[in-house]
Structure 1
């Protein structure tokens, strides 16, 4: 199955990180999510109930980013994957968490962690 829903560049302000100043000030995180599922039912019915509503998915993902702080973006990505796999129709999901303001003492473009999980059947 090659059907996918992709939500890229979802930006939210969170307070994740190992340093106190990251928890106090917070920073923007950017999330990319790719869901693998059978989209034929939605294509046939033309009904949003037959697919993953990406607007509602975005709300749930933002709630995680803006919610309880964690030390590592690996942990944050794992929590976001749990949200993506909550819909039983999703067979696999990939989440990338970008931390463009990471406290790195050198010039860089991005720090990101990507996790992929498939549904245990």
Structure 2
């Protein structure tokens, strides 16, 4: 909904969706798997009046899509995982833009670190 020509930017955010995946370029990552944590922000025009699930995006469906990608076909790069999640999110008809962060907290680094992540934003209007 717009007020005086200014588009409304509403958001639905899912944070910390966690599942085990087998993504990575090293054999042990493909063999042993590891947790991946995903944050998703959906941008869409929200109907805040009707109180009908049909007039929004069901975030349970989005969470299931995220889990399916994480636990699905192994990918070398978390960039690819993030892209697949973004594509699925944009498949929910009301979503105009999505930002996806894929965290790989057990990435195979020798240095001390707390997280490795990739963040991408995609829009259906590009």
TM superposition score normalised by structure 1: 0.95
CA distance in 2, matches of 1:37, 1:120: 12
Match of 1:64 in 2: 69
Pick the aligned partner of 1:90 from 95, 100, 105: 95
Pick the aligned partner of 1:20 from 23, 27, 43: 27
Higher helix share: 1
Q: Tell me, yes or no, if structure 1 residue 113 matches structure 2 residue 113.
A: no
- Where structure 1 has 5 or more consecutive residues not aligned to the other structure, the ranges are none
Q: Tell me, yes or no, if structure 1 residue 29 matches structure 2 residue 21.
A: no
* Runs of 4+ off more than 6 Å: none
CA distance in 2, matches of 1:76, 1:56: 17
Per the alignment, in what secondary structure is the counterpart of residue 49 of structure 2? helix
CA distance in 1, matches of 2:81, 2:97: 18
Match of 1:38 in 2: 45
Once superposed, what is the RMSD of the aligned Cα atoms? Answer: 0.9
Match of 1:52 in 2: 57
Match of 1:2 in 2: 9
TM superposition score normalised by structure 2: 0.92
CA distance in 2, matches of 1:13, 1:52: 25
Aligned residues: 119
- Where structure 2 has 5 or more consecutive residues not aligned to the other structure, the ranges are 1-7
Deviation for aligned residue 1:78: 0.3
Deviation for aligned residue 1:22: 0.1
Deviation for aligned residue 1:118: 1.1
CA distance in 1, matches of 2:68, 2:105: 19
